[in-house]
Amino acid sequence: MDELLDLDDAERLAEKIVPADAWSYITGGAGDERTLRWNREAFSRFRLRPRVLIDVSSVSTETTVLGTPVSMPVLVAPMAFQAIAHEDHELGMAQGAAAAGTLMCLSTVATATPSDVAAAAPDGPRWLQIYVFRDREV
Protein backbone atom coordinates (compact mmCIF):
# COMPACT_ATOMS: atom_id res chain seq x y z
CA MET A 1 0.00 0.00 0.00
CA ASP A 2 1.63 3.23 -1.13
CA GLU A 3 -0.67 5.59 0.69
CA LEU A 4 -2.96 5.41 3.69
CA LEU A 5 -5.96 7.63 3.08
CA ASP A 6 -8.13 6.64 6.02
CA LEU A 7 -8.35 4.34 9.03
CA ASP A 8 -9.78 1.53 6.92
CA ASP A 9 -6.59 1.59 4.79
CA ALA A 10 -4.47 1.46 7.95
CA GLU A 11 -6.54 -1.43 9.29
CA ARG A 12 -6.17 -3.42 6.06
CA LEU A 13 -2.41 -2.90 6.11
CA ALA A 14 -2.15 -3.89 9.78
CA GLU A 15 -4.09 -7.08 9.13
CA LYS A 16 -1.42 -8.11 6.60
CA ILE A 17 1.40 -7.50 9.08
CA VAL A 18 0.07 -8.63 12.47
CA PRO A 19 -0.05 -12.38 13.20
CA ALA A 20 -3.57 -13.83 12.77
CA ASP A 21 -4.12 -14.78 16.43
CA ALA A 22 -2.97 -11.34 17.57
CA TRP A 23 -5.18 -9.69 14.95
CA SER A 24 -8.21 -11.57 16.27
CA TYR A 25 -7.46 -10.37 19.80
CA ILE A 26 -6.85 -6.76 18.74
CA THR A 27 -9.97 -6.41 16.60
CA GLY A 28 -12.31 -8.42 18.78
CA GLY A 29 -14.45 -7.42 21.71
CA ALA A 30 -15.76 -9.00 24.88
CA GLY A 31 -18.88 -11.15 25.01
CA ASP A 32 -21.16 -10.63 22.04
CA GLU A 33 -19.11 -7.58 20.94
CA ARG A 34 -22.14 -5.31 21.39
CA THR A 35 -20.03 -2.40 22.69
CA LEU A 36 -17.59 -2.85 19.81
CA ARG A 37 -20.47 -2.53 17.32
CA TRP A 38 -21.90 0.49 19.14
CA ASN A 39 -18.50 2.21 19.09
CA ARG A 40 -18.04 1.58 15.37
CA GLU A 41 -21.56 2.88 14.68
CA ALA A 42 -20.94 5.99 16.79
CA PHE A 43 -17.64 6.78 15.06
CA SER A 44 -19.22 6.25 11.64
CA ARG A 45 -21.55 9.17 12.38
CA PHE A 46 -18.69 11.66 12.84
CA ARG A 47 -18.15 14.02 9.96
CA LEU A 48 -15.37 16.46 9.25
CA ARG A 49 -16.81 19.70 7.98
CA PRO A 50 -14.44 21.33 5.49
CA ARG A 51 -13.96 25.06 5.91
CA VAL A 52 -13.27 26.68 2.56
CA LEU A 53 -11.80 30.12 1.97
CA ILE A 54 -10.70 30.36 5.60
CA ASP A 55 -7.09 31.05 6.56
CA VAL A 56 -5.82 27.90 8.28
CA SER A 57 -2.14 28.86 8.35
CA SER A 58 -2.11 29.32 12.13
CA VAL A 59 -4.57 26.67 13.33
CA SER A 60 -3.55 24.76 16.44
CA THR A 61 -4.82 21.34 17.45
CA GLU A 62 -3.19 21.60 20.88
CA THR A 63 -5.38 20.97 23.91
CA THR A 64 -5.20 19.53 27.40
CA VAL A 65 -6.60 16.24 28.64
CA LEU A 66 -7.11 16.07 32.40
CA GLY A 67 -4.40 18.70 32.78
CA THR A 68 -1.94 17.03 30.41
CA PRO A 69 -0.99 19.18 27.40
CA VAL A 70 -1.15 17.32 24.08
CA SER A 71 -0.46 18.36 20.50
CA MET A 72 -3.79 17.03 19.26
CA PRO A 73 -6.95 15.49 20.65
CA VAL A 74 -5.80 11.99 19.66
CA LEU A 75 -4.58 9.68 22.43
CA VAL A 76 -3.37 6.08 22.61
CA ALA A 77 -5.81 4.10 24.74
CA PRO A 78 -4.59 1.30 27.00
CA MET A 79 -4.25 -2.02 25.21
CA ALA A 80 -3.07 -5.20 26.87
CA PHE A 81 -0.31 -7.46 25.59
CA GLN A 82 1.02 -5.25 22.78
CA ALA A 83 3.97 -7.62 22.38
CA ILE A 84 1.69 -10.05 20.53
CA ALA A 85 1.41 -7.50 17.72
CA HIS A 86 4.91 -6.02 17.51
CA GLU A 87 8.34 -6.59 19.03
CA ASP A 88 8.58 -2.95 20.20
CA HIS A 89 5.30 -3.37 22.14
CA GLU A 90 4.43 -0.59 24.61
CA LEU A 91 7.92 0.91 24.43
CA GLY A 92 7.54 1.72 20.73
CA MET A 93 3.98 2.93 21.24
CA ALA A 94 5.08 5.29 24.03
CA GLN A 95 7.95 6.60 21.89
CA GLY A 96 5.60 7.20 18.96
CA ALA A 97 3.03 8.98 21.13
CA ALA A 98 5.72 11.16 22.72
CA ALA A 99 7.21 12.00 19.30
CA ALA A 100 3.73 13.05 18.12
CA GLY A 101 3.27 15.18 21.24
CA THR A 102 0.40 13.16 22.61
CA LEU A 103 0.00 10.58 25.33
CA MET A 104 -0.28 6.85 25.73
CA CYS A 105 -2.10 5.30 28.66
CA LEU A 106 -0.29 2.13 29.75
CA SER A 107 -2.53 -0.89 30.32
CA THR A 108 -2.75 -2.64 33.67
CA VAL A 109 -1.82 -5.83 31.82
CA ALA A 110 0.94 -4.42 29.64
CA THR A 111 3.89 -6.50 28.49
CA ALA A 112 6.31 -3.76 29.60
CA THR A 113 6.73 -2.29 33.07
CA PRO A 114 5.85 1.32 33.82
CA SER A 115 9.52 2.05 34.55
CA ASP A 116 10.61 0.58 31.19
CA VAL A 117 7.99 2.67 29.37
CA ALA A 118 9.07 5.81 31.24
CA ALA A 119 12.71 5.13 30.30
CA ALA A 120 11.80 4.53 26.64
CA ALA A 121 9.88 7.82 26.37
CA PRO A 122 11.31 10.06 29.11
CA ASP A 123 9.59 13.20 27.81
CA GLY A 124 6.19 11.55 27.34
CA PRO A 125 3.33 11.93 29.82
CA ARG A 126 2.91 9.03 32.23
CA TRP A 127 -0.62 7.69 32.37
CA LEU A 128 -1.53 4.27 33.74
CA GLN A 129 -4.81 2.39 33.60
CA ILE A 130 -5.46 0.63 36.90
CA TYR A 131 -7.84 -2.24 37.51
CA VAL A 132 -8.28 -2.81 41.22
CA PHE A 133 -8.70 -6.56 41.60
CA ARG A 134 -10.50 -8.07 44.58
CA ASP A 135 -7.78 -10.68 44.82
CA ARG A 136 -4.81 -8.55 45.87
CA GLU A 137 -2.45 -11.40 44.95
CA VAL A 138 -3.11 -10.84 41.22
Q: Convert the pLDDT of each residue in 32-64 to its tens digit.
A: 999 999 999 998 999 988 888 989 889 899 999
Do 34 and 82 lie in one domain? The reply is no
Q: What is the pLDDT of residue 63?
A: 97
| Residue 86, φ and ψ in degrees, nearest 5 | -155, 145
pLDDT digits (tens, 9 = 90+) for 14-28: 999 999 999 999 899
Do 10 and 71 lie in one domain? The reply is no
On the question of pLDDT at 1 being above 70, the answer is: no
Per the DSSP assignment, residues forming a β-bridge with 65 are: 68
| Residue 116, φ and ψ in degrees, nearest 5 | -65, -40
Residue 29 CA to residue 41 CA, distance in Å, equals: 14
Of 58, 83, 106, the residue that ends a domain is 58
The total of other beta-carbon atoms located within 10 Å of residue 88's CB is 15
Q: What is the mean pLDDT of residues 85-91?
A: 93
On the question of pLDDT at 100 being above 60, the answer is: yes
- Give the DSSP letter of residue 127: E
Of 18, 34, 58, the residue that ends a domain is 58
pTM of the model: 0.80
Q: What is the pLDDT of residue 132?
A: 86
Q: Pairing relation of β-strands 127-128 and 63-65?
A: unpaired
In this prediction, residue 3 has a pLDDT band, given cuts at 50, 70 and 90, of confident
Of 16, 35, 58, the residue that ends a domain is 58
How many domains does the chain divide into? 2
Amino acid at 43: F
Residue 36 CA to residue 65 CA, distance in Å, equals: 24
Domain containing residue 38: 1-58
Do 92 and 112 lie in one domain? The reply is yes
Do 54 and 121 lie in one domain? The reply is no
